[in-house]
Structure 1
């Protein structure tokens, strides 16, 4: 509807957008003519909008948050242009929020409902029974805030956005314990000695610095001539073809032969599209399976609260202790900011710190000057 004119107009042309027309690629509109005052025309516009949606005013006020979210998920990506990760993130956000307040009418949700929901998440009142991290809570609330702003309110299902006043929860900064160079090398052999197809992703995380989902997506065609192609999950900039350390190249070469023989025994054929890390029937492994496998193995090896991402931290720390160029370490870790590499990922074990300190020679070791002896020092103070 056009803006309110200065003169008293009793005839209005109301236009409502009904989405993009697939045939033309342009926004389609429906129009109607209304006679009355401006206030009446505004109400008529809302009634016309609900009529096009096939819903009465009373029905729209009774719509629950779960129903609204279902409509939003269908309408948000009608041509399936969103990435799989973005679509999955929205679905997770909807599932988590609707578990707590999904039965409430979307028009009656208040700021207090949102605050109580977030407190419950922090306390562990979730679908899985485990508390959400600050980063996860912020992502979920941001997704629902966008749904309210760009879908629920324009459609007339709600008049305000209760997620708009939400204050972000401080992100968790879990400190990753450092391990020594010897522990790192021993861990690599411990993982490989499992000869478990589910553990190969752990090896890629430890010796190539892959994130968990990146390691799960590596196929044999991505490993050629001592290089590994990593398909980044965080951004396109994270895609890279990087050299492998010799130990990893040797382990993967041996595992490729072992995997081929095991698959042959099951009447399966290994191809370049076969995943390096698989489940027990040699299909692509899921993150939950990988997480359980590492928690079990890590606990057996003496690590406290092990997480797959810890392996990536230890990879960066190992490169730092190997005297590699700092910029090369940043490139191997695929970080856009070197402070992330140095301040968050790099950790030095106290044993290695002592060894590094011992490399510093005594002052004057390479010059003709020498420090005074103990007898000379005593003679000075005895005067």
Structure 2
């Protein structure tokens, strides 16, 4: 039987409200010194109601502790616990709004099934029934839930119940008594070399959408990184792109999630030429837009504002209103254009995956791939590298197998993976889009006798090629 050593306290959780309006409290009861750790222990419980009701609940909580009945009843529903969980997460300021919205979406799906269930009475069987119903199509969308979706739901619930156990609302976490649903997401696809060549040949670098697609497939930039890129991050003279910021769908220009996301990318000649062409075309569009805004202001008898000009802070990819492009809008552009570009059903992120797969296909060291991709962990990089390497091994094995049944023929000449003939764009200017994937990393063919211009290459790559 636990011994209460004080009268207990009531902590107001809604700090922005007066006590008379607050309806969320934390009950704290001291239970003496822990003989094992030498620290004073406190039992806690959350309560929803008025302050007067909270005082009554505190007295009952003390009785439960003294009679060892603290886990026998809760009266707090999953929905209430989830709301409190999200309130405290937001108040902590440690999580991005995008992450918070994702958790709220998961809790909405959970509340559809067990929102009004007493948290202390949720068992493994309760969760198994909910997952079975979701797999059968009892979801917010009406579509059967995938294993990957259930995996995320389960992890969200585990976080919630871990928090409830810590606060003394429940005795144990039911999520730990069952296996986590397996993810069943299909592996991302990567464009083959000839498909990359055909894809790039269709792009017009004077268009905002096309330069975004090109950056993804030629540098491996993420969607948020493309939208967060400004001209100050593009050094056309030194041919280096600096990834410093990422732009989210809530309009936040923020640092990348991990330190590895902040990186410098070498800019091959083909990428530099495309960006030079795009920058000139973009400046013309901005000037035309600014002139139109001034004309409308004059027509309406208004004083024109500061004239819009292209500057170092101007985004590389602009929206139709000459502002920074939202990742959601870029996604909408891709869904609009992908069928025309011959990639119907392909995700925007698979352009980045195609870039990384090309590096692996050309034998680039995994550590260099990790630095170029901005992966915080080598696990994802190695997964891509191993997959591509296995395909190459199978192809090699097939060649050897053919030797037993067919005469040996001279090996055909090696064709560059991404070689595109020059084409006329933007008033007669000729531009070679991409010379070869090797240029994406080494900036020069291995066979050339000329000394290439000095470029940025990661130290680890220098070590790898030595």
**Common fold: TM-score over 0.5:** yes
TM-score after normalising by structure 1: 0.69
Q: Unaligned 5+ residue runs, structure 2?
A: 16-25, 32-42, 61-72, 247-255, 291-307, 412-466
Distance in 2 between the 1:81 and 1:47 partners? 23
The count of residues paired between Structure 1 and Structure 2 equals 335
Q: CA deviation at 1:140?
A: 3.3
Which structure features the higher share of helix residues? 1
Q: CA deviation at 1:134?
A: 3.8
Q: What is the match of residue 76 of structure 1?
A: 89
Q: CA deviation at 1:314?
A: 1.1
Q: What is the match of residue 90 of structure 1?
A: 103
- What's the secondary structure of 1:13's corresponding residue? coil
Distance in 2 between the 1:98 and 1:249 partners? 51
- What's the secondary structure of 1:276's corresponding residue? coil
- What's the secondary structure of 1:167's corresponding residue? coil
Equivalent residue in structure 2 for 1:13, among 6, 22, 25 = 6
Q: Does 1:340 align with 2:383?
A: yes
Q: Unaligned 5+ residue runs, structure 1?
A: 6-10, 23-27, 34-44, 366-383
- What's the secondary structure of 1:270's corresponding residue? coil
Q: How does 1:261-300 map to 2 (within 5 A)?
A: 261-267=284-290, 268-300=308-340
Q: CA deviation at 1:289?
A: 3.0
Q: CA deviation at 1:63?
A: 4.1
Structure 2 CA distance for partners of 1:237 and 1:15, relative to 1, 3 Å: farther
Q: Write the deviation string for residues 202-252 of structure 1: whole angstroms up to 9, x where unpaired.
A: 222111112223323222222223211225755322321111232222212
Name the Cα RMSD after superposition: 4.5
Q: What is the match of residue 230 of structure 1?
A: 243
Indicate if the aligned counterparts of 1:207 and 1:245 stay in contact, CA closer than 8 A: no
Distance in 2 between the 1:49 and 1:97 partners? 21
Structure 2 CA distance for partners of 1:123 and 1:324, relative to 1, 3 Å: same
Q: CA deviation at 1:256?
A: 1.9
Indicate if the aligned counterparts of 1:180 and 1:349 stay in contact, CA closer than 8 A: no
Q: What is the match of residue 173 of structure 2?
A: 161
Indicate if the aligned counterparts of 1:217 and 1:275 stay in contact, CA closer than 8 A: yes
Q: What is the match of residue 264 of structure 2?
A: 241
Q: What is the match of residue 258 of structure 1?
A: 281
Structure 2 CA distance for partners of 1:104 and 1:329, relative to 1, 3 Å: same
Equivalent residue in structure 2 for 1:206, among 217, 235, 238 = 217
Structure 2 CA distance for partners of 1:214 and 1:123, relative to 1, 3 Å: farther
Q: How does 1:177-192 map to 2 (within 5 A)?
A: 177-192=189-204
Q: Write the deviation string for residues 68-102 of structure 1: whole angstroms up to 9, x where unpaired.
A: 21211112343423344543443343333234433
Distance in 1 between the 2:323 and 2:28 partners? 50
Q: CA deviation at 1:201?
A: 3.0
Structure 2 CA distance for partners of 1:217 and 1:77, relative to 1, 3 Å: same
TM-score after normalising by structure 2: 0.58
